[in-house]
A and B are shown apart, each in its own frame.
Chain A
C-alpha cells in the first residue's frame, strides 16, 4: 500500500519534471541540432539552399558532405566587426541597465510591502503593450522633429535637432529601455531578501554608508546582479528588432547579419554558423559561471 503510494508519487514527480524537459528537447535541442547540421553543410542553389549531409550513392555507399570550411567566416572582417559591435552594445546595455536598475530595485525594496507591490507592477506595466509598438514609440521620441529634440530646442539647449535616431546610440537606448525590467526583477528579488539590519550593524562597527554598500550589500545581492546581467546580456547580444528599427545602417549587430545571410543572401550554412558560434559564445561562460557558483 505504502509502496504503491510511493511509486505513484515518483511517477507524478517524473511527469512534472519530464514535461519541461520534453519541451526543451523538442523546441530547443532539436532545432539547435538542425541548425548545427546546416552549419556544416555545403551551400548550394535550390530548396533548401544546402546539400544534405548524407548522400546514398547506391551500392551501400554513403557519402558524408561535411563542410567545416563554413566556420572560416571568423576570419572575415565584416563578421568580426559585427561580433565586436554586438559585444560592445550588449555590454553597454547590460551595464546601463545595472546602473539604472540597481538604485531602482534598492529603492523599491526599502518601501513598505504594500507600496513595493505597486511599484513592481509599474515596472511590469510596459509589458502590457506590444514590444514592437514600444520600440516604434522611440522612433517618435528620438526623431529630428520628435519629442526629445523639440523639447531641447524649446528650452534652448539645442539650436538644431540632434541626429540621434538611426545610430548605434539610439539602438542602445532602445535596448536599455526594453531590458531594464529584466534587470530590476532579479535585483529586487535579491534585495527583498536582503536583511537591511546588516547595514546598521556595519555602521555600528564603523563602516560609512558607501563602504558598507561595497562590503555588505553588493556581495550579498550578487546572485541578483548576475541573474539580471545574464537576462539582459543574452537577448541584447542577439537582438535584431531594436537595432533594425532604431540603429540605422551603422548598427550591424550579429542578429542583423544572421538575418541578412539567411533571407537576403540565402546563405543558410553561414547564417547557421553564426548562430552556432553565438550560442557557444553565450553558453560557455554561463556554464563556467554555474560551475564556479556550484563549488
Chain B
C-alpha cells in the first residue's frame, strides 16, 4: 500500500495558487434519506484540470454526492456551482457534466458507435461532425475496431472504454466517474488507471472519481477527499493524506498504521513528550501537538517507518521491545508482526529485503527492539 503516487507530479497544481478560482464549488450540501443525513454539510472546492477522488467505505455518501453533481439527485441543503454558475436546480440533461456509471449503463440496443454518439445527437449537431468526433473519441480509447459491436458482444474492459468514450465526447466541464475500475480484473485495472489519467491530462478535463479502492485513489488523483458517514474528513494530496493524516480515522483508513493511545506529558512549540500505556518508553515528537499537558492523544506510526533490530538501541525514547509473532514475506518487503512486551498489542513493522540471498537474521519468537524517529511520529488529537 505504501506505493507513492506516480503520475501526478507533473501536473500544474492550481489548488496551491492562492488566487486561482475553484471550478466546482460544493457549498454545505446535505442530502437526507428517510430523515438520516447521507451527505452531511459537505463543502469542497475543485479546480480546473484536477483529478479529484472521493474515497471512503461503502455507504459513506460518496456516490450520493456524485449523483447530486450529475443532477440525478437534488440536494436538500446547500448549493453546487460549476464554473461560477449555480447548478443546484438544473436538471441532469442541461448540466455540462457527464458521468460514467459503475454499471457503465451502455444502451444495449445500440452499437458502440451509437452509444458514443448519443450525447452529440441530443445536441443536434450535424451528422458529419458527430461522425468525426465519435471516430476521434473511439480512437482515444482504442475502440475503433469495435464501433459496430453491441455492448453484449464486448468484454468488460471494452465496455468500460466505450462508456468512457461516451462520457468524454461532449468535453464536459466535469467528468464524474463512479467506481470506474471496480468491475475490471486486477491486471486490467492497473493499466486502465494510467490510461484514464492520460486521457484526462490530454483533454485537459476535470475528473471527479468515486472509489473505495485506496491504491486507485492514491495512484490517480491530484487530490483526494476522505469521506466517512456523509462527511469529508480530510482533503489533500495523496502525500498529505498518507504522511499527515488529520484524524485517527483517516490514519487508520489509508494504508496500515500502528496506533497507540497516550497522554501529553510535556508540550512546547517544537517538541512534545507523550506517555503511552502500551509503550514503556516515552514517545518524543519534534513538533507541537496542539494539545495541552494531560490531554489524551493518539500516536500513529507507519510500519515502514519503524525499524527493528535485535540490538538494544542507545536512546531511551521512541523505542519498545517485543516478540516476533509472524513474518509475511512479500518479495520486495517483509512485514513483521511484533507483540509488545507485557501487552497484547501487535505492532506491524515493514523492512525492505535489500539482499537477495541473505538469510533473515530475525525470525519467529525472537525478541526484537523497535525504534522510530521523532519526525516520523504522527500525533493525532481526534
Contacts and interface: CB of A to CB of B under 8 A. Distances in A.
Contacts of B109: 219-220
Contact of B93 (A197, A198, A207, A216): A207
Contacts of B123: 206
A206 B72 contact: no
Interface stretch (B35-43, B94-102, B152-160, B219-227): B94-102
Contacts of B97: 204
B101 A201 contact: yes
B105 A195 contact: yes
A200 B72 contact: yes
B141 interface: no
B91 interface: yes
Interface in B95-135: 97-99, 101, 103, 105-109, 118-119, 122-123
Given A206-B170, A207-B93, A208-B93, A201 B122 contact: no
A207 B101 contact: no
Contact of A198 (B91, B105, B119, B122): B105
A219 B118 CA distance: 15
A60 B103 CA distance: 76
B19 to A, nearest CB: 33
Contacts of B31: none
Contact of B122 (A195, A206, A219, A220): A206
A205 interface: yes
A204 B99 CA distance: 7
A216 B107 contact: yes
A211 B107 contact: no
A198 B92 CA distance: 13
Nearest to A209: B93
B302 interface: no
Contacts of B72: 200, 203-204
A245 interface: no
Contacts of A195: 103, 105
Contact of B101 (A200, A209, A219): A200
B105 A197 contact: yes
Contact of B170 (A201, A205, A208, A215): A205
A206 B105 contact: no
A44 B50 CA distance: 91
A112 to B, nearest CB: 13
Interface in A181-223: 195, 197-198, 200-209, 211, 215-216, 219-220
A17 to B, nearest CB: 28
A211 B121 CA distance: 11
B327 to A, nearest CB: 47
Interface in B176-200: none
Nearest to A206: B122
B107 A206 contact: no
Contact of A203 (B92, B103, B106, B107): B92
Contacts of A211: 122
B93 A201 contact: no
A204 B122 CA distance: 11
Given A206-B122, A207-B118, A200 B108 contact: no
Given A198-B105, A220-B108, A220-B109, A204 B98 contact: yes
Most buried by B among A195, A203, A204, A220: A204
Contacts of A205: 93, 98, 118-119, 122, 166, 170
B70 interface: yes
B103 A200 contact: no
A255 B350 CA distance: 87
Contacts of B166: 205
Contacts of B119: 205-206
Contacts of B105: 195, 197-198, 200-201
Nearest to A201: B105
Contacts of B118: 202, 205, 207, 215
Given A205-B166, A206-B170, A216-B107, A200 B92 contact: yes
Contacts of A197: 101, 103, 105
Contacts of B93: 203-209
Interface in B195-230: none
A200 B72 CA distance: 7
Given A195-B103, A197-B103, A206-B122, 10 more contacts: A204-B71, A204-B97, A204-B98, A204-B99, A205-B170, A206-B93, A206-B170, A208-B93, A209-B93, A215-B118
19 contacts: A195-B103, A195-B105, A197-B105, A201-B99, A202-B107, A202-B118, A203-B92, A204-B71, A204-B72, A204-B92, A204-B93, A204-B167, A205-B98, A207-B118, A207-B122, A209-B93, A211-B122, A216-B107, A220-B109
Interface of B: 70-72, 91-94, 97-99, 101, 103, 105-109, 118-119, 122-123, 166-167, 170
Query: 10 nearest interchain CB pairs?
Result: A206-B122, A201-B105, A205-B119, A203-B92, A203-B93, A204-B99, A207-B122, A197-B105, A219-B109, A206-B93
